[in-house]
Amino acid sequence: MSLLSWIVRPLAYISVPVFVLKTVAAVSPSGRYYVRIGMYVCSLTFIATWGAAIAACMASIGRRFDVNVVIARSFYLLASAVMDITVEIEGAEHLTTRPAVLMLNHQSFLDILVIGPLIPPRSSIMAKSSIRYTPLGPFMILSGAIFVDRGNNARAVRSLKAAGERMKAKRTSLWMFPEGTRHLAATPDLLPFKKGGFHLAVQAGIPIIPIVCENYFWLYRKGFFGKGVLKVKVLPPVDTTGMTAADASTLAVTVRQQMLDTLREISTKTNAMFPPAADTKIPPTVSAGSTESTTEINASPKVVPSNAPPVDELVTSKRSGGSEHGTETSTEEDEGMVLVGRPA
């Protein structure tokens, strides 16, 4: 079998079910939601099937830290064409900063598509250590993932320190979700941020790049899966030079506020479709269990308590207890990766 047929034949096989699914979706509005989820998962499964082989080949030639960008962008090219969903990026020039900790708000499994055009070369992701021993483990190892033992705070701290040193030495960036779990509601909002990534950035003295995807409740929610253009805004890097561990809590609050303001600013479609109700106070913005100093950080905007309307959550997220270094135990997701066992 020629190399060309080896590549083309799987594409031909997957095109048939995609065509059937699209036809069913067009004639049955009630089934369109599940059909589109099926199309999305099929696209993800197809790319994941080849992921391990691609990772092994790239690792063998010394390109392991470019595995994620190849896989993520391949998935974006396929899924965006199949689903008719594209990502429009503002501030892409900030993604060239390296090394850096990249932080994106986490809404649902659709974020995997959003990451595709965003993730820069020489990037790795953070994952809990147990992932190393799952079927996904070989791919994660080959792609240079950073594993953190979230059940042991001391080991987690050591892992974060080692990760920061490796990032500086190899000039690689780290991708993570500071909320730690998925959260999608009719009102643009963010969960409290976990602080593991902030401690890592401070200890290593590397910048944080906040990335905000608009609230896409207008495009995806329980019972509805549409199509369109998603807006993403990449904010300027936040410098951590001269900061200490005592500043991590305030840094988390500051970055969260910047991202929340941006989220509300760019979520025009959701705001138009789901007008907010009466204002109410937002709870504290850092995970419970912290008693760290909240001294104001130089060159960072003051954190002002924000107001937000009640959230009518149609997709719920699991929260877990906080810890000093963001090593909360979770049965659903880790801070640096998305689990797609079920749509949310």
The residue that leads in pLDDT, 326 or 140, is 140
Q: Summarize the confidence of residues 94-116 as an average pLDDT.
A: 94
Least confident residue range of 20-34, 83-97, 202-216, 257-271: 20-34
Distance CA 151, CA 250 (A): 24
Question: Highest-confidence range of 15-24, 233-242, 294-303, 318-327, by mean pLDDT?
Answer: 233-242
Residue/partner pairs of 31-34 with CB below 8 Å, 24 or more apart: 32/225, 33/223, 33/224, 33/225
Domains contained in the chain, CATH given:
86-315 (3.40.1130)
Q: Is the pLDDT of residue 328 over 80?
A: no
Is 0.75 surpassed by the pTM of this model?
no
Average pLDDT score, the chain: 78
Query: From the CB of residue 162, how many other CB atoms can be counted at a distance below 10 Å?
Result: 12
Q: Is the pLDDT of residue 248 over 80?
A: yes
The residue that leads in pLDDT, 56 or 217, is 217
At 128 the pLDDT is 74
Burial (CB count <10 Å: 0-12, 13-18, 19+), residue 237: middle
Distance CA 76, CA 151 (A): 33
Distance CA 67, CA 59 (A): 8
Least confident residue range of 105-114, 118-127, 286-295: 286-295
H or E segment and range at residue 220: strand 220-221
